[in-house]
């Protein structure tokens, strides 16, 4: 069996070591005679995995004691609504920065949430040019309301391939960030954020689960008149075991985090990721007359590299030829078209080199 060279945007490639470990442990987890999926989420065997996943995350991302690590179902999309329900008080206002499709969705769900929560949603900056996004806003373009309940950012726009490399300074306004497509790919000072959320299915695991890193004092400010299941304090008070969590997804996150640790931690992952992105952008720049990269250089995403070829026909041929080389997941999002290569943590330098070689060869042939 030959594994596919997987550039999917999410669900995405998982490290082979994490999958092999799951295969080895599938029928007989830790000598218990059953899979981890068949264990009670209240039992000691599962609890060890759960706690190990949280401990590895704390260690890998250097998460302080002032911060809770939570596992929540419903995807990052659910967070778009749950965040304003918790943190946008009646009469208050929340600021949003928009530089792509996911930020737009976050705004629209927050607006819908205000029907229940009260409060207002303000767009503090947008870089939309019609339906196009090619950059993040500059700090001076962000019209921050100093009284905002929070400032919401999307650190990396997965569809448009536009990424913040430096986060704006929000002063005393709590920073809330959707890090779904660039969580845990580099060393970052996460302590500046009051609330980070990330769907696991790109850099750290399978779909079905969101990792939340939230400051304890921020969680405490959340509304108390919501159904318990929607309050972050409920999840925090119960170590993400208030109700049955997706145990297998958390188990796989444990495997991925163990792989990150064993292979050199975040510094090695970051070094690899930067090399990978440089390889592909290098080809785009070398063949700038053939490949068009719509994103401004300073906002280019290290995770999702989007580009166009001279015609739809070229793009169709590019995808078909790539597929023959076992390269999958390169079609751009249906809303924008073109090509997108997602280079998450589990995408190897070797795979990326194969893609770069193919791109060079394809450009030469035209
Ligand atoms: N935010 C970003 C940045 C994303 O890339 C995605 C998914 N591609 C989402 C939110 C939505 O995630 P989910 O489908 O898990 O709800």
* Ligand 1 atom having least distance to the Cα of 158: 5
Note the pLDDT of residue 92: 96
CB 356 within 8 A of CB 5: no
Note the pLDDT of residue 165: 97
Grouping H, G, I as helix, E, B as strand and the rest as coil, residue 202 is coil
Task: Consult the annotation and say whether 178 binds a ligand.
Answer: yes
Q: Name the class of domain 265-365.
A: alpha beta
Grouping H, G, I as helix, E, B as strand and the rest as coil, residue 212 is strand
What is the token pair recorded at 216? 């304890």
Distance from the alpha carbon of residue 303 to the mean position of ligand 1, in angstroms? 14
Atom 2, ligand 1: which residue's CA is nearest? 180
The ranges assigned to domains in the chain are: 17-262, 265-365
Task: Consult the annotation and say whether 77 binds a ligand.
Answer: yes
Distance from the alpha carbon of residue 289 to the mean position of ligand 1, in angstroms? 32
Atom 15, ligand 1: which residue's CA is nearest? 75
Is 313 among the catalytic positions?
no
Is 351 among the catalytic positions?
no
> Does this model's pTM top 0.90?
yes
Interior/surface letters 307-344, b for 16+ CB within 10 angstroms, e for the rest:
bbbeeeebbeebbeebeeeebebbbbbeebebbbbbbb
Distance from the alpha carbon of residue 366 to the mean position of ligand 1, in angstroms? 34
Note the pLDDT of residue 1: 78
- Of the candidates 265, 296, 24, which has an alpha carbon nearest to the alpha carbon of residue 135? 296
Q: Report the C-alpha gap between 148 and 169 in whole angstroms.
A: 14
Mutate to test the pocket of ligand 1, among 99, 154, 180 (most ligand atoms within 8 A of CB): 180
Note the pLDDT of residue 159: 98
* Ligand 1 atom having least distance to the Cα of 100: 3
What is the token pair recorded at 170? 């929000």
Atom 3, ligand 1: which residue's CA is nearest? 180
Domain 17-262 has CATH 3.40.640.10: yes
Note the pLDDT of residue 131: 83
- Of the candidates 14, 18, 37, which has an alpha carbon nearest to the alpha carbon of residue 254? 18
Task: Consult the annotation and say whether 76 binds a ligand.
Answer: yes
* Ligand 1 atom having least distance to the Cα of 80: 10
Task: Consult the annotation and say whether 73 binds a ligand.
Answer: no
Q: Which residue has 């967070």 as its token pair?
A: 79
CA atoms within 13 A on the CB side of 118: 7
Lining ligand 1 with CB less than 6 A are 10, 75-77, 102, 154, 158, 178, 180-181, 199
Task: Consult the annotation and say whether 94 binds a ligand.
Answer: no
What is the token pair recorded at 104? 């737009």
Grouping H, G, I as helix, E, B as strand and the rest as coil, residue 281 is helix
* Ligand 1 atom having least distance to the Cα of 78: 16
Is 178 among the catalytic positions?
yes
Digit-by-digit pLDDT tens for the chain (366 residues) are 789 999 999 999 999 999 999 999 999 999 999 999 999 999 999 999 999 999 999 999 999 999 999 999 999 999 999 999 999 999 999 999 999 999 999 999 999 999 988 899 999 999 999 889 999 999 999 999 999 999 999 999 999 999 999 999 999 999 999 999 999 999 999 999 999 999 999 999 999 999 999 999 999 999 999 999 999 999 999 999 999 999 999 999 999 999 999 999 999 999 999 999 999 999 999 999 999 999 999 999 999 999 999 999 999 999 999 999 999 999 999 999 999 999 999 999 999 999 999 999 999 998
């Amino acid at each position: 069996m030959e594994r596919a060279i997987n550039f999917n945007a999410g669900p995405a490639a998982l490290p082979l070591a994490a999958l092999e470990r799951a295969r080895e442990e599938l029928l007989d987890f830790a000598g218990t005679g059953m899979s981890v999926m068949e264990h009670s989420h209240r039992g000691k065997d599962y609890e060890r995995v759960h706690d190990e996943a949280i401990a590895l995350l704390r260690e890998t991302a250097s998460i302080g004691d002032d911060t809770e690590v939570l596992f929540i179902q419903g995807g990052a999309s659910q967070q778009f609504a749950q965040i304003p329900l918790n943190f946008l008080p009646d009469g208050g206002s929340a600021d949003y920065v928009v530089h792509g499709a996911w930020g737009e969705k976050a705004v629209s769900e927050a607006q819908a949430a205000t029907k229940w929560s009260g409060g207002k949603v303000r767009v503090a900056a947008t870089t939309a040019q019609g339906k196009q996004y090619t950059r993040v806003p500059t700090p001076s373009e962000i019209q921050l309301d100093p009284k905002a309940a929070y400032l919401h950012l999307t650190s990396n726009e997965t569809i448009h391939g536009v990424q913040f490399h430096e986060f704006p300074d929000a002063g005393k306004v709590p920073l809330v960030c959707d890090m779904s497509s660039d969580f845990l790919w580099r060393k970052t000072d996460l302590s500046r954020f009051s609330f980070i959320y990330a769907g696991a299915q790109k850099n750290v695991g399978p779909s079905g689960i969101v990792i939340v890193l939230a400051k304890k004092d921020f969680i405490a400010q959340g509304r108390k008149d919501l159904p318990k299941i929607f309050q972050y304090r409920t999840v925090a008070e119960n170590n993400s075991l208030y109700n049955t969590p997706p145990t297998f997804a958390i188990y796989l996150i444990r495997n991925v985090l163990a792989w990150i640790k064993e292979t050199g931690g975040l510094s090695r992952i970051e070094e690899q990721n930067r090399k990978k992105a440089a390889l592909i952008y290098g080809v785009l720049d070398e063949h700038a007359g053939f490949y068009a990269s719509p994103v401004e250089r300073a906002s280019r995403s290290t995770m999702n590299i989007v580009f166009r070829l001279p015609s739809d026909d070229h793009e169709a041929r590019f995808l078909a030829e790539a597929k023959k080389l076992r390269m999958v997941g390169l079609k751009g999002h249906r809303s924008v078209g073109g090509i997108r290569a997602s280079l998450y943590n589990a995408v190897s330098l070797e795979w990326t080199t194969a893609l770069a070689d193919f791109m060079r060869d394809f450009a030469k042939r035209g």
